[in-house]
Structure 1
Amino acid sequence: MDIKLLVKITSRAWALDIMAQMHRGVPGRQAALIAASGAGRTAFGVSLAHLMELGLVARNPGHGHPLRPEFVLTELGVAAAAMADAVVSAAEDSEVSLLRKSWTVPVLALAAQPQRFSGLKARLGAITDRALSTSLQTLEAQDWVTREIDLSERVPFPTYQAVNAGERINQVIGLAA
């Protein structure tokens, strides 16, 4: 999976949770997915529509029987759902809400090696300085990212690297550096 698709998937709060639940075998019916994910109806609807726009989830053409799911994973969605389930499983239950923030997962995906702020920003594309800074501060406070000052050059600069649960999530995503 490339970073652009990962950014698009995680731009909706409940998208990872919905895909993880579908991967785990929760029937693809709206009521079952809402109950399993814990999302509100409106947020669930927006996230599901977003996943359909991305081509990861589709309406089941054979729906009409109470036991058939309304929604199914597409071919691309199956791989993304496996990754989403692994990411959600890598976080502790008390920490899963942090995964719903837009830039958490993409930042962790790029932080396998020490990265400068400008390097992260360049690879994430559309992120603003403020959004990246806030995400890094939140991840550092959660102890998912470590910030170290590199003194090897004339002008010292901070580097960021995934640690603890952040490192587990990074390894699960497995983007090439």
Structure 2
Amino acid sequence: MNILALLHAGTPGRQAPLLSKSGASRTAFAQSLSHLVDLGLLERNPGHGHPLRPEYRLTPKGVEIAAVAGKINAAVTEQAHGPILRRTWSVPVLAASYKPRYFGEIKNELVSVTDRALSQSLQQLQKSRWLVRNIDTSKNPPRPIYQAANQGFEIAQAINLARV
């Protein structure tokens, strides 16, 4: 996500500037680039540069997703919250909890998430105050209900606006 946001912000598509601005290790950076190319979000710029130092550019699909990634990065003001964003289920859970949802409703929207992974993500997001857990006492037995809050709400809003 960080690479997409950097390209959207105007960072040159060569590996050296992207690597230095992303702060990732070379191995993680190379894996991320390969994954983004496989997803069809990035492509090698065929008319540029040396074969050993390729330049990358966003595909049309990548441009849309990079705009969302830029909004997500802009919503995260503290450097300490970066690791939370990089967790596998943080962003999808925030997107699913844009409006108040029960655990089961979030799980149904994120089909491949396990109960344990969802529970851990919800706890981590609560600790960072990106998610609020309230108890719905109108149900018997009372059930917890989750909703994105603060920076988590801004991230959820950016994602859900892109869906429309």
**TM-score by structure 1 length?**
0.86
Q: What's 1:82 paired with?
A: 67
Residues 123-134 of structure 1 correspond to what in structure 2 (within 5 A)?
123-134=109-120
Counterpart of 1:174 in 2: which secondary structure?
A: helix
Corresponding pairs, count: 161
Pairwise CA distance, 1:139:
0.3
Offset from partner CA, 1:138-158 (integer Å, 9 cap, x none) = 000000001011111222111
Counterpart of 1:158 in 2: which secondary structure?
A: strand
Q: Is 1:162 paired with 2:148? A: yes
Q: What's 2:5 paired with?
A: 20
Counterpart of 1:113 in 2: which secondary structure?
A: coil
Distance, in Å, in 1 between the alignment partners of 2:103 and 2:74 is 28
Q: Is 1:92 paired with 2:116? A: no
Unmatched tracts of structure 1, length 5 or more = 1-15
Q: Which runs of 4+ in 1 moved over 6 A?
A: none
Unmatched tracts of structure 2, length 5 or more = none
Asked if structure 2 preserves the Cα contact closer than 8 Å seen for 1:116 and 1:159, the reply is yes
Residues 35-54 of structure 1 correspond to what in structure 2 (within 5 A)?
35-54=20-39
Q: What's 2:16 paired with?
A: 31
**TM-score by structure 2 length?**
0.92
Counterpart of 2:140 in 1: which secondary structure?
A: coil
Tell me which of the two structures has the higher relative contact order, counting C-alpha pairs closer than 8 angstroms and 6 or more residues apart. Answer: 1
What root-mean-square deviation, in Å, do the aligned CA atoms of Structure 1 and Structure 2 show? 1.8
Asked if structure 2 preserves the Cα contact closer than 8 Å seen for 1:27 and 1:69, the reply is no
